[in-house]
Structure 1
């Protein structure tokens, strides 16, 4: 493993207030007590013109980054997978909106359109996304990108892309391929999922998922009927009342998750001059497998995780797709909503 070193601060007998800018009051007092009498005397003689003795100036030893507690965990790979989950969920929330088509689009023709979305956390902008979607009477394809904005881009530059293809069959949406790529800081992740016979046929994660002793494995039975996070929320229904009150089986390449939808209300929507009514559902989460049992994030997701999703119908298809979403997270509410919509070709 490559070692990265922190810069050395070798403070000697310098102006005392300079060092106090680097240390808290408690740390400054503790280190002052630990300084030897000889060092104090030497600094007194060298800096007699200062009002305070410069034995407050202490030597800060060099430390390897991997010796620091938080970064030791990162060097062992701990925490990386948790960040991957969080990033995948945020990116998936943006992609849910990509699937939202509007009344007036005929299912008899293949239509290509472009849409743009904003992502906020605690009301602050953290990202934007852009998608192109192709949908016909029996197939669909979605491609999209997401880029961090604002403070998130400053502290953790993040970007991602996704491609989803599948078929529209009589009673459900059947995914064929799901590919997700994202970069967060110096970390890169690629996930590919193949589907066949109504379930997951293959999975590739680069780098591979790190598994500790408390890892709960995903079984073959749990992958039957599961879909990717995008096409899983394209719902076939004959009427608005049938959209919610169901359980959706999701697999993101590592975790198997059940999402339970419950009806909330009917809400109006308006984007780019188009208007209509959408079905608002409350989504709750039940992690099934593919996670570390000791993770506190899993317990929080199961007990407090909530997401409100508005589904709008695609005229003539019987398919309802997410229009906007608001999710509760441990750091605050995350909101994803459309800012632009245009039809490119029919």
Structure 2
């Protein structure tokens, strides 16, 4: 799932973010207008918005974020990220991904095109700095992957219960343009949550991080994330669809929990092709 920018899970908490579900037909369409805050040990670091359109056979997602609160005193930053693709055989299939992040005088502009799960085009400005210990990304690492934004959305095929424990049994092969890593989810519990636009259950899944390429193995941050067993994502549905989105993401750090949490989850139904034809 992309709570995870260019440096993996921790980037979700770098400050640059970058009601009750109904079991309806898989072709239901809706637009989610979400708002999030990012905190570390209870201190606000960032805030952002997320727009997600789920249609009969396609999806589009765009997020914007900026530093806020105490973090703004030390470093001002902002970013945008977007992903688009198709819905095939009940699964999200990305076609494009882009992220632009600027902090101080530094920036990163990354754009990626994907076809049938394989990366076909990739541009990164400025180019990545080579490190002698970095695990090389091969062509095999660029196949059968999801981008981080698409990976943060979970579409549940069929007509079963969206809050069933087995929904958490997911494996996401993520390539963010620099790093190839796997995210594995496992069921933990059900929580009741409430925010503007949503009140109901949240499916709480553990997150396990496994880097495959593009990382420097001996870096302490990478080792920490590999060993971490207390990361969580709290998933709630976009009402009227079978797509789940994060209500909350928790990543423990040595100085306290990093938390991404929704303050708004407003959903607007979108007209289906049949209703538009009837008009």
Give the shorter-chain TM-score range: 0.7 to 0.9
In the other structure, the counterpart of 1:27 is none
- Report deviation, 1:315: 4.7
- 2: distance between equivalents of 1:300 and 1:258? 15
In the other structure, the counterpart of 1:90 is 13
In the other structure, the counterpart of 2:155 is 236
Alignment coverage as a number of residue pairs? 259
- 2: distance between equivalents of 1:103 and 1:193? 33
In the other structure, the counterpart of 2:221 is 297
The alpha-carbon distance between structure 1 residues 125 and 181, as it changes in their structure 2 partners (threshold 3 A), is same
Alignment of 1:328 onto 2:252: yes
Give the gaps of 5 or more residues in structure 1: 1-82, 96-100
The alpha-carbon distance between structure 1 residues 256 and 161, as it changes in their structure 2 partners (threshold 3 A), is same
Pairing of 1:7-22 with structure 2 (within 5 A):
none
- 2: distance between equivalents of 1:231 and 1:258? 14
In the other structure, the counterpart of 2:210 is 286
More strand by share: 2
- Report deviation, 1:202: 2.2
In the other structure, the counterpart of 2:81 is 162
In the other structure, the counterpart of 2:276 is none
Of 259, 262, 265, the residue aligned with 2:183 is: 259
The alpha-carbon distance between structure 1 residues 169 and 317, as it changes in their structure 2 partners (threshold 3 A), is farther
Q: Is the CA contact 1:236–1:243 (under 8 Å) kept in the aligned structure 2?
A: no
Question: Which stretch of structure 1 is more off in the superposition, 316-325 or 169-178?
Answer: 316-325
- 1: distance between equivalents of 2:20 and 2:247? 9
- 1: distance between equivalents of 2:252 and 2:108? 24
The alpha-carbon distance between structure 1 residues 344 and 244, as it changes in their structure 2 partners (threshold 3 A), is closer
The alpha-carbon distance between structure 1 residues 103 and 321, as it changes in their structure 2 partners (threshold 3 A), is same
Q: Is the CA contact 2:15–2:65 (under 8 Å) kept in the aligned structure 1?
A: no
Q: Is the CA contact 2:51–2:61 (under 8 Å) kept in the aligned structure 1?
A: yes
Of 113, 118, 121, the residue aligned with 1:202 is: 121
- 2: distance between equivalents of 1:200 and 1:293? 24
In the other structure, the counterpart of 1:149 is 68
Name the SS of the counterpart of 1:321 in structure 2.
Answer: strand
- Report deviation, 1:317: 4.0
In the other structure, the counterpart of 1:215 is 134
TM-score (norm 1): 0.68
In the other structure, the counterpart of 1:275 is 199
The alpha-carbon distance between structure 1 residues 286 and 222, as it changes in their structure 2 partners (threshold 3 A), is same
Of 167, 174, 191, the residue aligned with 1:250 is: 174
Alignment of 1:103 onto 2:21: yes
The alpha-carbon distance between structure 1 residues 287 and 173, as it changes in their structure 2 partners (threshold 3 A), is same
- Report deviation, 1:345: 6.5
Larger relative contact order (CA 8 Å, sep ≥ 6): 2
In the other structure, the counterpart of 1:33 is none
In the other structure, the counterpart of 1:53 is none
The alpha-carbon distance between structure 1 residues 305 and 264, as it changes in their structure 2 partners (threshold 3 A), is closer
Of 39, 48, 62, the residue aligned with 1:120 is: 39
- Report deviation, 1:85: 2.0
Max Rg structure: 1
In the other structure, the counterpart of 1:49 is none
Name the SS of the counterpart of 1:216 in structure 2.
Answer: coil
